[in-house]
């Protein structure tokens, strides 16, 4: 078998083995990665940072452990901003029955961090509530667009005293009459709930922004460029962009639109982005190498044939 043919027919399991190594080793080494945030992510950060203190945002948290890699990073970055800017959050989910619990756990972890730094916790019922899971995403989006009071009607959450009460009695939702009373509607998703929400909620007077996994990125981008989305963070790159801006904010020259927006330097801004992004480079490099090797092999064997 000629070299060309060899290069063209590397057994799959060899490739797989190499990938495992490449995806593991760099995790143990700290490698700073230079980076410039993308425009949709900058817009997202700017939009979030311009939400007035004390107002409420509506969050559709439609991710679970299976996309933890990206979505958890998105969620943490978002929550860090809300917590530090004292913005209230109402979390619902139409993506997966587990999503509410996953979100609660994620907030728990962040509160742990705050506790460690001696900061007041981001308190359930007073600062944030979960209205739970809605099995039919379309219906849910429609209901929210039509009448939030009905959509979330009868839903309860737990007060710090541990009693369950109607969510609309909570400080988070007490002033909410319709969806446009939310300062922003944020969709964090790994599935089509992004499109479903846009189709039904867009134009109801509430700004929409999204954090989607790399896969949903291409599908969501048209909505961003058509102005239906105020901001968009896509995949791990989006997470890394946000974490970078959390640290250093939007610096002049980065965006003509936002000018300068402060960050939270020195705060605990490290998340999945910073953890995984370096490793991602190695994996992508491997992918590119594999493609090159394949083509070189083809070229060689062609030459041989000729």
Task: Evaluate whether 189 touches 63 at the Cβ level (below 8 Å).
Answer: yes
Task: Evaluate whether 242 touches 41 at the Cβ level (below 8 Å).
Answer: yes
Q: 119 CB contacts (<8 Å, ≥6 apart)? A: none
DSSP state of 38: -
Is position 219 an interface residue for other proteins (rule: CB under 8 A)? yes
Stretch that binds other proteins, among 52-60, 81-89, 112-120, 165-173 (CB under 8 A): 165-173
- CA 150, 151, 154, 155 torsion: positive or negative? negative
Q: Which of residues 95-114 bind other proteins (CB under 8 A)?
A: 97-98, 104
| Terminal-residue alpha carbon distance, the chain | 16
CB of 253 to other proteins, least distance (A): 6
The tokens describing 143, both together, are 């209901």
Task: Evaluate whether 143 touches 151 at the Cβ level (below 8 Å).
Answer: yes
- Residue choice 193, 197, 213, 301 for contact with other proteins (CB under 8 A): 213
Q: Could you count the other beta carbons within 10 Å of the beta carbon of residue 72?
A: 22
Residue 227 CA to chain centroid, in angstroms? 19
- Residue choice 47, 64, 197, 269 for contact with other proteins (CB under 8 A): 64
CB of 41 to other proteins, least distance (A): 12
Is position 118 an interface residue for other proteins (rule: CB under 8 A)? no
Stretch that binds other proteins, among 47-55, 138-146, 180-188, 263-271 (CB under 8 A): 138-146
Say how many residues touch other proteins, by CB under 8 A: 98
Q: Which of residues 249-278 bind other proteins (CB under 8 A)?
A: 252-253, 256, 259, 272, 275-277
Q: Which lies closer to other proteins via its Cβ, residue 234 or residue 246?
A: 234
Q: Which lies closer to other proteins via its Cβ, residue 174 or residue 304?
A: 174
């Amino acid at each position: 078998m000629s070299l060309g043919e060899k290069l063209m027919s590397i057994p799959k399991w060899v490739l797989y083995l190499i990938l495992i190594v490449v995806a593991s080793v760099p995790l143990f080494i700290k490698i700073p990665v230079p980076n410039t945030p993308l425009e949709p992510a900058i817009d997202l950060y700017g939009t979030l940072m311009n939400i007035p203190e004390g107002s409420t945002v509506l969050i559709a948290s439609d991710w679970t452990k299976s996309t933890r890699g990206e979505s958890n990073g998105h969620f943490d970055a978002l929550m860090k901003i809300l917590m530090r800017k004292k913005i209230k959050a109402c979390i619902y989910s139409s993506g997966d029955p587990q999503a509410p619990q996953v979100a609660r756990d994620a907030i728990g972890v962040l509160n742990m961090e705050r506790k460690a730094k001696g900061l007041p916790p981001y308190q359930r019922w007073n600062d944030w509530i979960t209205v739970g899971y809605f099995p039919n995403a379309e219906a849910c989006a429609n209901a929210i667009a039509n009448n939030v009071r009905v959509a979330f009607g009868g839903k309860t959450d737990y007060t710090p005293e541990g009693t369950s009460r109607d969510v609309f009695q909570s400080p988070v939702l007490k002033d909410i009459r319709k969806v446009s009373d939310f300062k922003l509607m944020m969709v964090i998703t790994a599935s089509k709930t992004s499109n479903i929400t846009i189709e039904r909620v867009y134009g109801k007077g509430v700004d929409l922004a999204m954090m989607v996994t790399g896969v949903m990125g291409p599908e969501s981008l048209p909505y961003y460029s058509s102005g239906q989305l105020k901001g968009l963070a896509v995949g791990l790159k989006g997470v890394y962009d946000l974490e970078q801006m959390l640290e250093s904010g939007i610096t002049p020259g980065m965006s003509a639109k936002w000018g300068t927006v402060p960050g939270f330097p020195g705060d605990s801004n490290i998340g999945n982005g910073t953890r995984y992004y370096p490793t991602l480079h190695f994996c992508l490099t491997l992918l590119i190498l594999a493609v090159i090797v394949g083509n070189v092999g083809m070229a060689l064997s062609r030459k041989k044939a000729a």
